[in-house]
């Protein structure tokens, strides 16, 4: 295996706390391997590497994707609410308000 090291970052965000880790991994390291090597799972045991969606610079990626120098790995949390459902409800509320017209 190549002894060359590459620099990468890993980010994970909660509503009131963000974690950014900068570390080096051997060239040829895969995304899932870097998550393990980062130590993030010790701080946040709720992260399930097998189920969590992962990305590099905002684009979803596969756990077996090979990392490149200065890649930023992102661990995504599940959405609390479906954005389409929120927009639909907001639109319905807007229609109701327009029909009512208020006091004249």
Boundaries of every domain in the chain: 5-100
Count of CB atoms situated within 10 Å of the CB of 31: 23
pTM: 0.74
What would you report as the CA-atom Rg of the chain, rounded to the nearest whole angstrom?
Answer: 20
Q: What pLDDT score does 83 carry?
A: 78
Superfamily of domain 5-100: Beta-grasp domain (3.10.20.30)
Q: What pLDDT score does 76 carry?
A: 94
User: How would you write the pLDDT of the chain (104 residues) with one tens digit per residue?
Assistant: 457 999 999 999 998 999 999 999 999 999 999 999 999 999 999 898 788 999 999 999 999 999 999 999 999 988 777 778 888 888 888 765 555 555 54
Q: What pLDDT score does 94 carry?
A: 78
């Amino acid at each position: 295996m190549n002894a060359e090291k590459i620099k990468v970052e890993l980010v994970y965000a909660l509503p009131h706390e963000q974690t950014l880790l900068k570390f080096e991994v051997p060239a040829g390291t895969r995304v899932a391997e870097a998550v393990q090597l980062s130590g993030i799972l010790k701080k946040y045991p709720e992260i399930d590497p097998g189920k969590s969606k992962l990305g590099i610079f905002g684009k979803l990626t596969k756990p077996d994707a090979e990392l490149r120098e200065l890649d930023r790995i992102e661990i995504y949390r599940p959405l609390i609410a479906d954005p389409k459902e929120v927009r639909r409800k907001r639109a319905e509320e807007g229609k109701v308000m327009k029909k009512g017209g208020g006091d004249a």
